[in-house]
Chain A
Amino acid sequence: MYPQAMCDLIDIVDGTREKRKGEAIERLSAEELKALLARYHPDYREAAFRNLRVGVNRGDRTTHEIADLLEAFSDLDHSKIDLRPEYDTDVLVLGGGGAGVTAALFAEGMGARVVLATKLRLGNSNTIMALGGMQVSVHESDSPVRHFADTMAAGKFAGNRKLVKTMVEDGPRIVQWLLDLGVDFDRDGEGNLAVKGGGGLSAPRIICIGDYTGLNIMKVLKDQIRQVEGIDVFEFSPAVELTTNEFGECNGAVLYDLGRKRHFVVRARAVVLATGGSGRLHMQGFPTSNNFGATGDALVLAYRAGVRLEGVDSFQYHPTGVMFPEHMVGVLVTEALRSLGAHLVNAKGERFINELETRDACAAAIIRECERGNGVGTLSGAKGVWLDTPLLEETQGKGFLKGRFPSLYRHFMRVRINISKQPLLVYPTLHYQNGGILIDEKGETTVRNLFTAGEAAGGIHGRNRAMGNSLLDIFVFGRRAGLAAAKRKYNEAGNVTLNHVHRYYDRLKALRISSTAKSPTLFPEFIVNKL
């Protein structure tokens, strides 16, 4: 329920709705876009970044939050860990989201023995929160090449062409795989996969399952992993360090059993790192849409093992994160609302950006409005702008929001906000790590036998990810990583050592870096900071 002070502000939005309906806002020119981003997008705020002093990417720019973790020692007393493996397997998958489960299923399908370890419960991931849908070129006006072009353009041409081509070409095949597993994507009248348009897309390309796309895919994948024989799942067992053999090749991981508070080692012929992104590091103090476990562990573990990172100075701030009520701060409001024509409106009741601009442009424009004093304040002093949802109810018909966005509608009805009558207060929320661990088309990193898939991987999305491409990327590269990792099952795993960590520590010490930060983070430390 909005407090009275905010209801008065909502009256302004209601008052200008009729006028705004007829308004058309020009798309930004290339120069305008550049200027907007440079001035207001968090990725361009130089004070928030520094150059790494150690490791493969020495000299590269990243956020303080990530640099702090990469230039840190572990909490773990390595001398006290028993490195004799408690489990020996072919493929060790770290991470229980869409990418990890896909990798595990494909590796198992190739006859590999698989251990899947995850920090929280299997499936507790950002995958389930992918609401809007998944990009795949199936519409007749569309093509894989067009999908490639849109993805490259959205990423400001910083994405790796080969990886993008791989993703868009594998797209239709991976959808077929999901359909075969019993994922029920929405269909149109002729039984085709129904496709929607979206910001930055030149053809309708978003396939979905209501507004619960990721969740419904993950439900099926979780069910499938229960049905196959060759996968052991360890829940509540985050990885705290990778292990390497005498040649510096990855051969397992040290896991931490949260329940029994002890470490144990899993040795493997190949490791798939799929532990997701880093939203819970709350870069630059932004709220985040990410799940509880998204603390950037993959970057830390893999960097110590010697991988090259790519583009870890670029993050996606989703323009429409909830700002009110406060216990929902950071939670995502799907982009589909803007695609369908919901306006972004400032405190004066004015639009200030074409809502179909890419995510980075919309986010920067919202930050601009708030910095110019056109933001809407909450009681606790937070600022945001309105997302005019009642407008959709007028243009698309009564009951539209409840029917088309049932989960969103219900989540707000629980707090007595009726989105068909009242707008939502939104502000950019830290949503996605655009960069990550550099991979090749097989999903392999620059460290042999270490594969990466999903948000932890980098090189695909360039400097801005288009809507619906991450849900595609996790399955495409999860599959590829799983298949390639399974082929390593005849490898000699070699001795389990932490030599790479000791080498890394030596370099830190030589540079007189003595950080008090401890990494990996595993869990966000101080959560109730909203008080």
Chain B
Amino acid sequence: MKGDDAIITVELEGRKIKVPAGLTVIEALWDTGHDVKRGIGCLSGLCGACTVAFIEKESKKVRFGLGCQKVIEEGMNVIMIPCFPCRAARYSLEAMENPLEKLKELYDELYTCNDCRACNICPEWINVAGVMRAAMAGDYESAAAHVTDCIMCGLCASRCPKNIAPHYVALYIQRALARERPSPPNLGNRLEEIESFRYDGEWSRVAAMDDEALKEFCASMVGR
């Protein structure tokens, strides 16, 4: 915990170094004078810029996480992973009739997935392999439903032996599905109202109001 003055020893970017306990990986890098900018974004665990790999003390397993969220611990060996290269397909959704049918063409490597589950290291706890299984089986709704929380950090793609970029595959499915949904009736109605100048009378009344009248008008809105 921060607040007590414990100092721990960690291996940071390949260097053994002492840092105060309770810092995140990024804070520890700053604290030790590293000028990190590439791997930093929102500092809230949402932008996916600060992916890290680490081995905990006496563990055999390399684990993955986000540098702004992972709190370092005694004996941890940790590095930042620069943005991992992955292939994003080029397409024009507007030009496609049934974009979902094009998935195979755009991301044919998806269908070489043998469910090794190496990609299940998601810092957002997404079952990436499960999403890829659903995508291959054509259960796109289920695939899309599980990736709303994907922050596009690309860690899953960095582990895939088949060069699949699960985050891009899933994003394509999300976009394609959204395009296929019927237009929302309430939005359609409102657009029609605006285009037929339905509110113009009210707008001109508002435009003519002085500040006091506007305040009264706004107060009456809340009451209505």
Contact = CB atoms under 8 A, between A and B. Distances in A.
Contacts, number: 208
B186 A212 contact: no
Given A152-B214, A193-B184, A227 B148 contact: no
Contacts of B172: 223
B23 interface: yes
Nearest to A165: B203
A261 to B, nearest CB: 11
A81 interface: no
A225 B89 CA distance: 12
Contact of B148 (A150, A169, A216): A216
Interface in A220-251: 220, 222-223, 226-227, 236
B182 interface: yes
A410 B30 contact: no
B90 A227 contact: yes
B60 interface: no
A192 B144 CA distance: 19
Interface string B77-108: 00000010000101111100000000000000
A292 B41 contact: yes
Contacts of B88: 223, 226
Interface string A179-220: 111111101001111000000001000000110100110011
Contacts of A527: 27, 30
Interface string B9-48: 0000000000010111001001100000110111111110
Contact of B175 (A145, A190, A220): A220
Interface stretch (B113-121, B130-138, B155-163, B187-195): B187-195
Nearest to B174: A184
B187 A153 contact: no
Interface string A138-158: 111001111011101100010
A292 B182 contact: no
Residue from B91, B171, B184 whose CB has the most chain A CB atoms within 10 Å: B184
A503 to B, nearest CB: 32
Contact of B41 (A124, A150, A179): A124
A510 interface: no
Contacts of A210: 148-149
Interface string B123-143: 011000000000000000000
Interface string B158-186: 00000000001001101111110111111
Interface in A320-352: 326-328, 331-332
Given A180-B179, A181-B175, A530-B2, A129 B71 contact: no
Nearest to A190: B185
Contact of A121 (B83, B175, B190, B191): B83
A187 B46 contact: no
A191 B24 contact: no
Contacts of A236: 37-38
Contact of A202 (B183, B186, B224): B224
B169 to A, nearest CB: 12
A157 B219 CA distance: 12
Contacts of B53: none
A404 interface: no
Contact of B22 (A121, A137, A327): A327
B3 A380 contact: yes
Contacts of B148: 209-210, 212, 216, 406
A108 to B, nearest CB: 13
B23 A406 contact: no
Contacts of A331: 43-45
A152 B124 contact: no
Nearest to B40: A292
B194 to A, nearest CB: 6
A179 B124 CA distance: 25
A138 B178 contact: no
Nearest to A152: B218
A491 interface: no
A140 B193 CA distance: 11
B215 to A, nearest CB: 6
Contacts of B185: 190-192
Contact of A123 (B47, B168, B178): B47
28 contacts: A121-B49, A121-B83, A128-B46, A137-B190, A145-B202, A145-B203, A150-B221, A152-B218, A153-B218, A172-B190, A173-B191, A182-B178, A182-B179, A184-B144, A184-B178, A191-B182, A212-B149, A215-B46, A219-B171, A223-B175, A226-B90, A227-B90, A289-B44, A291-B41, A332-B44, A407-B149, A411-B69, A528-B23
Interface of A: 3, 120-121, 123-126, 128-129, 137-140, 143-146, 148-150, 152-153, 157, 161, 165, 169, 172-173, 175-176, 179-185, 187, 190-193, 202, 209-210, 212, 215-216, 219-220, 222-223, 226-227, 236, 258, 289, 291-293, 326-328, 331-332, 378-380, 406-407, 410-411, 414-415, 523, 527-528, 530-531
Given A172-B190, A209-B148, A378-B3, 16 more contacts: A121-B49, A124-B47, A150-B218, A176-B191, A179-B187, A183-B175, A191-B182, A202-B224, A212-B46, A215-B46, A219-B171, A292-B42, A406-B149, A410-B125, A528-B23, A528-B31
Top 3 A-B pairs ranked by shortest CB distance? A182-B175, A124-B41, A184-B178
